[in-house]
Amino acid sequence: MSIENRIDDLDDDKASWEERLASVEDTMRNEWTAMESALAQLQTQSDYLTQQLASLSSASSKK
């Protein structure tokens, strides 16, 4: 195998790895975005429940 062939093979390997890494990066970014969205939704629910519990607590202490 000549040096030129080896260089070509390595270039092909590099390009293949770059494609794989780009794909993994896209997948991870999409998963991160979905996680951030779910976390924001959970925070909204937490805030709502905290507010409701505070309302119940203040209503029961007025009795």
Q: What is the pLDDT of residues 2-61, one digit of tens each?
A: 999 999 999 999 999 999 999 999 999 999 999 999 999 999 999 999 999 999 988 777
Give first-to-last CA distance, the chain, whole Å: 90
> Which DSSP helix (H) or strand (E) runs through 63?
none
- How far apart, in whole angstroms, are the C-alpha atoms of residue 12 and residue 21? 14
Domain count, the chain: 1
Structural domain that includes position 15: 1-63
**Do you know the residue count of the chain?**
63
Burial class (CB in 10 A: 0-12, 13-18, 19+), 11: exposed
What tokens appear for 18 in the block?
């770059």
Q: Which residue has the higher pLDDT, 55 or 1?
A: 55
**What predicted TM-score, i.e. pTM, was given to this entire model?**
0.69
Per-residue pLDDT at 57: 83
Per-residue pLDDT at 63: 62
